[in-house]
Amino acid sequence: MIRINKSGYIYVGLTLIIGFAAVNTGNNLVYLIASALLSYMLISGVFGRHNLKGLDPRLRLPEEIFAGTETLIGVEMSCRRRFIPAFVVTVSIGDNDVVFPLIRPRCDELRYVPVQFEKRGRVSIPEIRMSSSYPLNFFTRYRTVTRDLELVVFPKLRRCEWR
């Protein structure tokens, strides 16, 4: 899935205006500028699409999770590529995000995201969403990985008095 950012709307609008100007004027220099803008957009799309390929996110859950207590969940990102690293990948678990600035090829990167569950019981994490606006922040590309993970959230911790 792709979402156009504000800078992308401006860039696409500018490209369309210059393209219409090239058609109306017949000036070769304006055609050259319009084609350069379109090729720049194409290259951005190719690199951006490739940025999320070959990445495999996994969650490292702690042994015990208590309701109402902030817990760190580990997000391990594996890059299965041979040569080209991945840049500026954001992983979302529910409403919580963690950013991987650089994921080297054939390496695993580990980051932690703070999560807090309000209620006790079984909680499922159905999907992990990866997104990246690399290379030019014109478009944000999303990829969803389904992971049917279930975890048990224990009751809220309370302070007890010793008598």
pTM of the predicted structure, to 2 decimals? 0.85
pLDDT (mean) for 101-118: 92
Over residues 10-45, the pLDDT tens digits come to: 999 999 999 999 999 988 999 999 999 999 999 988
pLDDT (mean) for 132-145: 90
Report pLDDT for 45. 87
Over residues 80-103, the pLDDT tens digits come to: 999 999 999 999 988 889 999 999
Cβ neighbour number for residue 34 with a 10 Å cutoff: 20
Whether pLDDT at 160 is above 90: no
Report pLDDT for 20. 94
pLDDT (mean) for 59-81: 92
Report pLDDT for 137. 87
Give 130's contacts (C-beta < 8 A, 6+ positions apart): 52, 55, 57, 89, 90, 91, 92, 142, 143, 144, 145
